[in-house]
Chain A
């Protein structure tokens, strides 16, 4: 295949990171251009079919297709990785020498931790206002409970990401890493509901649709990380979701007014970047744990006689 031959000239990790980060920068620049030239009025209503908007949509489609090509051409070595522990997909996150992956995950965890008090203050303020205005027609429809729940989940995400960083140094028991990887996904679920609720009356789709998409792909990315340890591995889809998370997070960060949203977007961006840093080389050349794998000599089978 020609595209495979072309892509094999570059290290996979470089291709993934270049595509995702380059795509993120391009999408962000086009979003800035769109906000500068393709909106009008105090509400930032989008001018229909403005060139910047069309260019942004086309760029997103092209970036998505490029990530798709990288995903389907990603070489995956399916040989058993250790004697007696054959095919543990979760070990694809393992590399004791690489320090960047755990560093990114720890930083992502601390961003989630920083988002928790911001969300808590926001939710508590909304709840207090809602309680103060009971019975009045001017009472806001948002009671802040979703923000409070998201704050609690952000704390869980912190612990989950620290555990994920720890597991990149030592191979735990198979299936155990799924729990820690699913904690940030729980945060994503609640954050998605909170963001949807917060923008329920916003008529400008561009204000919040990229953010909802970013949260959705981020949540699915975390779930795929959890799936790697529970025997439901889909490494190519995981890589695509990681790339899409980076691009959409950068896009939705432009013009984002909530600090908590920015911190959580930063969390999933760092985690996705860490996955793109670690996974492509490890999928191609899996780490060996324990005794090196030696393929069994299969006995030569005699040719079956044909029955006429």
Chain B
């Protein structure tokens, strides 16, 4: 049997997955500049190999790159960090608040603060509160500043001030939300472009990026949502 076949035979007994993940075992003479005693497998060879600056630098760079890729993949598939801009969710959220948003397997529920994207309005995402979900009916009474969902008035202790008629008119103020969609509004009702706005309207659930879990920064604003 020739050398190549011998090598193949030696490889077979190792568990396959372990073989893929494990670092290839290096022979004693790993370093090209190694002396003859290293080539012969003296104990100092492994220690010197580990201390090679190039190898150490490579390990550090690889660790940093892997960590960065892992974080980006986590912040893509599992959760996101969002920085608030604008006053539409005051007093619940303020401009420059940093919010943790859970995205993995989320379906909108009434009362949740969610991040949505509606490109008919703007490219960047917006953050609002879910008022009603699929199958529910929303009625907005601007005279009393009350929102009714399925005929029941919502107790909204989170809004900033009494709701007035918006500048663009009544907008969408009486609607049954289709299945797979939701109706969202900002907590600062008089300074919020939300589902009432003609360019936003009802939001498809698939346009909801995720649910805001908590404020992370600034320290004084840290709270659950």
Which residues of A pack against B, CB within 8 Å?
1, 4, 41-43, 45-46, 68, 71-73, 75-80, 84-89, 137, 140-141, 173-175, 178, 182, 185, 188-189, 192-193, 196, 200-205, 208-209, 212-213, 216, 219-220, 223, 226-227, 229-237, 240, 284-285
Contact = CB atoms under 8 A, between A and B. Distances in A.
A4 B77 CA distance: 37
Interface residues of B, number: 56
B159 interface: no
B6 to A, nearest CB: 9
B124 A78 contact: no
A100 B39 CA distance: 35
A43 B124 CA distance: 14
A46 B75 CA distance: 20
Contacts, number: 156
A76 B66 CA distance: 26
Nearest to A229: B54
A45 B206 contact: yes
A31 B29 CA distance: 48
Nearest to B208: A203
B161 to A, nearest CB: 20
A227 B62 contact: yes
Contacts of A232: 23, 55, 58-59, 62
A149 to B, nearest CB: 14
Interface string B142-182: 00000000000000000000000000000000000000000
A274 B80 CA distance: 36
Contacts of B12: 1, 4
Q: Which 6 pairs of residues, A with B, have the shortest CB-CB distance?
A: A86-B29, A201-B125, A174-B32, A72-B16, A230-B58, A175-B54
B49 A201 contact: no
A33 B4 CA distance: 45
Contact of B27 (A75, A87, A188, A227): A87
B69 A216 contact: yes
A240 B20 CA distance: 9
A223 B62 contact: yes
